[in-house]
Amino acid sequence: MAVGKLFGYEGNVIVIADGGPGFCSASPAAFDSFRAGNVVDGTSLHPICIRVNDFHAHYLPSGQATSFAADIDYQTGRDLTTNTWRPYRLRVNHPLRLGGDRVYLQGHGYAPTFTVTFPDGQSRTSTVQWRPDNPATLLSSGVARIDPPAGSYPDPRERRTQQIAIQGLLAPTAQLDGTLLSSSFPRSTPRRGRRHLSRRHWPRHRSAAVAV
């Protein structure tokens, strides 16, 4: 409708589940992408805060998804001043309705967590959502940057040279097509009885794509 395009807006953001920082719609800059109507300048958005506690996905044996749901907490209105969180199960085609705003669940993926231990014994952890390259199997790719602990390298130029960049693929259910890493199923399926230990430990968090 023309009225919706004139007065409305649409924002999309990826929110990391399982203890992620959450999201508050304070300004257009808080969204990963934002499209506003002709009379919306982004200075009077309805404030909403959301955190994703857990994400549930169910698949057929073929890997086809049958349902998605995110267990979220949200704040709006007076809840923001009293720090009151209200639970809600957000499902596809079942948006959270808050006044004139709607919050939709649009998609999901993985957000690997990397922990790097430096020579002095200090460690740094980073969780970053990765992009699904194959929507059917959620084979994903991404990059993470780990900065050295403060004080390890007083010289800023030396500190920059000690940054660690990690680039790779994440295969929820890994399989090899010859020598090429792929994924046969979208759900994370660790191998039983085997555990690889290294300086980098990366359990997989889920991330949910939310639209307002």
* pLDDT tens, residue by residue, 138-174: 999 999 999 888 777 888 888 888 888 889 998 888 8
In a domain, 1, yes or no: no
Residues 24 and 101 in one domain: yes
- Domain stop point among 107, 126, 159: 107
Residues 51 and 76 in one domain: yes
Instruction: Please report the pLDDT score of residue 7 as a whole number.
Output: 57
Residues 118 and 66 in one domain: no
In a domain, 4, yes or no: no
- 42, 125, 179, 183, 207 from 22: Cα distances, Å: 20, 17, 38, 29, 11
Domain count, the chain: 2
Q: Find the domain containing 85 and state its range.
A: 9-107
In a domain, 116, yes or no: yes
The pLDDT tens digits along the chain (212 residues) read: 333 344 577 888 888 988 888 989 878 888 888 887 776 766 677 888 999 999 888 888 888 888 889 999 999 989 999 999 999 999 988 889 887 788 899 888 898 888 988 888 888 888 888 988 998 889 999 999 998 887 778 888 888 888 888 899 988 888 888 888 888 888 876 544 333 322 233 334 566 555 55
Residues 99 and 118 in one domain: no
**Angstrom distance (rounded) from CA 206 to CA 20:** 10
Beta strand ranges found along 41-122 (DSSP E): 48-59, 65-76, 86-91, 96-98, 101-117
Residues 16 and 101 in one domain: yes
In a domain, 54, yes or no: yes
Based on C-alpha coordinates, what's the Rg of the chain?
Answer: 20
- Domain stop point among 89, 107, 125: 107
At 100-115, the pLDDT tens digits run 788 899 888 898 888 9
Instruction: Please report the pLDDT score of residue 83 as a whole number.
Output: 93
In a domain, 63, yes or no: yes
In a domain, 125, yes or no: yes
